A and B are shown apart, each in its own frame.
Chain A
């Protein structure tokens, strides 16, 4: 099965950099995805790491290390609108390979 762990809550200041970690226990998977969800909204896709290393998309970057069973989402130049929940997710490389398993989510609060 798959198990993903994230911190439940992170607080940071506007303009700062924050890293949201995701550790996982899974026998095999295609890659690590990140989703953002604002309060009252729907999850929206942010990034996907199929391979180890860093993927950068504007102020957001995502990192994966399969050997360490670890990934993170890095948010730079934080803005108030970045206050949201962030979920990591994996898609296993087995018969359930069409289904995403989501972590419990990290609630990010950006303060002025």
Chain B
């Protein structure tokens, strides 16, 4: 298996621009998680999906952030408009239903908003 795939790996954008991060989970994994990691706040869960349905988005910082999962093999995290404080590494992870303690992380997208 190729593992969790994320794109782009790096994104540099100007404040106010829309940013879309993409994720392909491991085939057969019913759970998909979006995390954000910064030095100050550590690893934070933003939102997670079960069988393509958003279950908990309480970690989404504000309305500028949105996430979708149109099918079992694709999810997006969108920031519109982006702000410098959104600069972070964004990880997507997936897991099997019976092994939710064992999450498989993608390589991450390093976002820089100038």
Contacts and interface: CB of A to CB of B under 8 A. Distances in A.
Interface in B82-114: 91, 93, 100-108
A87 interface: yes
Contacts of B102: 33, 45, 48
Interface residues of B, number: 20
A35 to B, nearest CB: 8
Contact of A48 (B31, B50, B101): B101
A42 B56 contact: no
Interface of B is mostly: strand
A112 to B, nearest CB: 27
B25 to A, nearest CB: 14
B100 A98 contact: yes
B104 to A, nearest CB: 7
A33 B101 contact: yes
Interface of A: 30-31, 33, 41-45, 48, 50, 87, 89, 91, 96-105
19 contacts: A33-B102, A41-B107, A42-B106, A43-B105, A44-B105, A45-B104, A89-B101, A91-B100, A98-B48, A98-B50, A98-B55, A98-B56, A98-B100, A99-B56, A100-B33, A100-B45, A100-B101, A101-B45, A102-B43
